[in-house]
Amino acid sequence: MVGIVIACHGRLAEGLIDALTLLAGEQKSLIGLGLLPGNSPLDFGKKVEQAVDELDEGDGVLVLTDLFGGTPSNSAARLINREDVRAFAGVNLPMLLSVVFARSEMGLDDLAEEAMASAAAGLVDIRKRVLEASSDEDEDF
């Protein structure tokens, strides 16, 4: 199974894991890391690498970060030459749910594609979606 590291600013990773647990139950092979005030970028990068090493059981590790160009994504970027790592910035809950459910059935490269697709699909203009649904219902009558 592909391991997952969530590396974010503040306590975002912890919050995403809390929400994931609420919706999907406890998960194995998942580590959340938060960059907190006073943490050095170098030390945080070491934690990300240690988490990847801990989770890699041969299927690889997906590293999901919050913001491209920030310390968490820069830490992940240092690992991109490894064949067993795929890293993304812009983690959201729909992406996380999707990759958690798919990782036992997909290899690392397919799971990386799933991460990208589900992150984009998870961004929804609620007003537009509700109005379209209302319009579709009106046409049915």
Q: What CATH code is carried by the domain that includes residue 119?
A: 3.40.50.510
Structural domain for 109, as ranges: 3-139
Tokens found for residue 23: 């919706």
Q: Minimal CA–CA distance to 73: which of 140, 134, 6, 141?
A: 6
**Whole-prediction pTM value?**
0.93
Number of structural domains in the chain: 1
Residue 141 has pLDDT above 80, yes or no: no
CA–CA distance from 49 to each of 43, 45, 130 (Å)? 10, 6, 43
pLDDT tens across 49-92, in order?
Answer: 999 999 999 999 999 999 999 999 999 999 999 999 999 999 99
